Structure 1
């Protein structure tokens, strides 16, 4: 009787073990064959913008590569928080991908009630591209160089104003103020680049801070004078314009666009997505679209992207704590 009970117990234990092994094998097979169903790329900003265009180009390449539908959806609102929260609440299986930009790093400071932390809640997959910020003035401004602008602002009895179209732009302006000792400055926050540029070209703000794709036509048309760029090296489109570092400021001002998935996504799935990004990096249509937008292609690895965002977060944290006021306060 005892032997029979022991045998039954042994058989039950063996069946449980085999079931667990089978389940693990099935899960491993599922991730090894990723993707086995449609992928969704969530854009937390409006359709037709730079983030949306990049996502749709990426979706086209992935769909051709995998033979699976890759759908782009726009879940907008709250400065990108609504779409990001949506992805955070999806399963950590890699089938829902988020595309985001720098300012997502600011959420714990700007909207702490959202309980959304990009570094804590997401696994970085790839920094796809980055766009340099251009710092310039209206063509009728007396400032011919970035140094001229800073010197004039320091002597002026009226504070100089920096036009910022995003929270990231605001922090870049604040960083310039700190590094140059420009205490008498204000940041004028705008809801978008277009109204900011209208005021910059009209001389209603001292300095405009558009992206390259917005600034370039105005520079070529003689309406906007670029004094410095936020790039790490001189831009081919503006070879005579120095970088902020050349102007003596130990900083860059680049807006990055990257993809990420919910934290806890299997490593094999992250690697599959990373491999698909590398494949996309060779797509001529995608690269042409980036160049048209004035972007610098990056297509980094998950490890490099993760290191970059952590370094950036550490660099801007003191500025965020000093200058950004949380929503509702």
Structure 2
């Protein structure tokens, strides 16, 4: 009986120690990054950039998984329900804060179910049109849309994406447009280039190569100010002050991740973002690097949720 009690005590001590041992040994297997949109968009570009350099630093592969659909909700929910052990990371943008106002019921809460990790970068959304569209600038585009002519279809990276919210704000400002959601900015810009839709609102990094090649025409950015990467492209707010969408990209974890694991990931990932070659790549792709603390990211998301709730109420937008 004495041996049995000692064995039980030893087993209990080992069980208590295992989480600590696992944390100090973190990581001891691959870490996956979930992208809630299709390949080719800005989130996908960022995820693969960070995953490659993070894997080199940690000595483990960091595979990227695209879980598109549902306005990002499929990917968000996958991470919210993942084990909070640091081996599942979410890359996200505005839809994480927008969706609670667009969908009546969601299986996750953007504040309660996620642990903020760090901001990665900010960037501008840009309205581009196919060269066949008879509008050389944003003022002409607004006039064209208001003229009562043929329907103007504008694509975006998906339901609840920043581009979608910009279209909703334009419609609210009496600029008649039809929103066409895609599974990522890549497919949206490709269909614009092909002339299958008249234009699109997507991230500047996704559109920039096609702007530079002349395959699309940039008319305006949705950010509150002009982008330093496209200074000749005006902000929509210069003509329509209420049409503003500032975009951000960030990394989050499932809620409940141990503090030691959070610190390790934050240290390694912010080091990756600050690497000269990463900083150079981001700026070349029209991202503005903006690494920060988990608390700073948490404060941003807590501010974004009520902000987008007001926008949704004002525009009357609802998805279910």
Q: Would you call these one fold, judging by a TM-score over 0.5?
A: yes
Change (3 A) 1:195 1:64: closer
- Select the residue among 105, 108, 122 that pairs with 1:116: 108
Cα distance in 2 between the residues matched to 1:268 and 1:91: 16
Cα distance change of structure 1 residues 220 and 83 upon mapping to structure 2, 3 Å threshold? closer
Tell me the secondary structure at the aligned position of residue 119 of structure 1. coil
Q: Which runs of 5+ in 2 are unaligned?
A: none
Aligned to 2:152: 161
Does the 8 A contact of 1:58 with 1:280 survive in 2? yes
Partner of 1:91: 83
Q: Secondary structure at the match of 1:98?
A: strand
Q: Structure 1's 70 and 152: CA in aligned 2 closer, same or farther, altered over 3 A?
A: same
Deviation at 1:134, TM superposition (A): 1.0
Give the stretch that moved more between structures: 265-274 or 223-232: 223-232
Deviation of the 1:250 alpha carbon? 4.6
The aligned counterpart of 2:319 is: 325
Q: Deviations over 1:102-135 (max 9, x none)?
A: 2233444555555123223111111212331112
Q: Higher Cα Rg: structure 1 or 2?
A: 1
> Does the 8 A contact of 1:39 with 1:70 survive in 2?
yes
Distance 1:187 1:324, change over 3 A: farther
Larger displacement relative to structure 2 (158-167 or 89-98)? 158-167
Counterpart position of 2:177: 186
Find the counterpart in structure 2 of residue 246 from structure 1: 238
- Any idea what SS the aligned residue of 1:99 has? strand
Change (3 A) 1:141 1:255: same
Offset, 1:44: 3.6
Rate the CA distance shift 1:277–1:232 in 2: closer, same or farther, 3 A: farther
Aligned to 1:279: 271
- Corresponding residue to 1:176 among 166, 170, 175: 170
Q: Deviation at 1:258?
A: 1.8
- Unpaired segments of 5 or more residues in structure 1? 1-11
Is residue 77–residue 107 contact of structure 2 (8 Å, CA) maintained in 1? Answer: no
2:290 matches 1:298: yes
SS in 1 for 2:177: strand
- Matches of 1:102 and 1:83, distance apart in 2: 14
Pair 1:65–1:113, CA change in 2 (3 A):
same
Q: TM-score, normalised by structure 2?
A: 0.77
Deviation at residue 95 of structure 1 after TM alignment: 2.1
Task: Please name the residue that 2:301 is paired with.
Answer: 309
**Corresponding position of 1:40:** 32
- 8 Å Cα contact 1:138/1:225 also seen in 2: yes
Distance 1:213 1:142, change over 3 A: same
Q: In the aligned structure 2, how far is the partner of 1:110 from the partner of 1:40?
A: 28
TM-score (norm. length: structure 1): 0.75
CA distance in 2 between partners of 1:229 and 1:150 (Å): 14
> Which residue, out of 46, 70, 73, partners 1:81?
73
Partner of 1:185, secondary structure, is: coil
Q: The residue matched to 2:227 in structure 1 has which SS?
A: coil
Please, which moves more after superposition, 75-84 or 270-279? 75-84
Cα distance between partner residues in 2 of 1:197 and 1:42? 22
**Deviation larger for 115-124 or 19-28:** 19-28
SS in 1 for 2:92: strand
Instruction: Please say which of residues 119-128 and 57-66 is displaced more in the overlay.
Output: 57-66
Tell me, in whole angstroms, the C-alpha distance in 2 between the residues paired with 1:21 and 1:246.
Answer: 65
8 A Cα contact 2:282 2:288, kept in partner? yes
Q: Please, what is the CA RMSD of the aligned residues?
A: 3.6
Structure 1 residues 257 and 145: CA distance shift in structure 2, 3 A: same
Question: Do the aligned partners of 1:138 and 1:223 also contact (CA within 8 Å) in 2?
Answer: yes
Q: Secondary structure at the match of 1:120?
A: coil
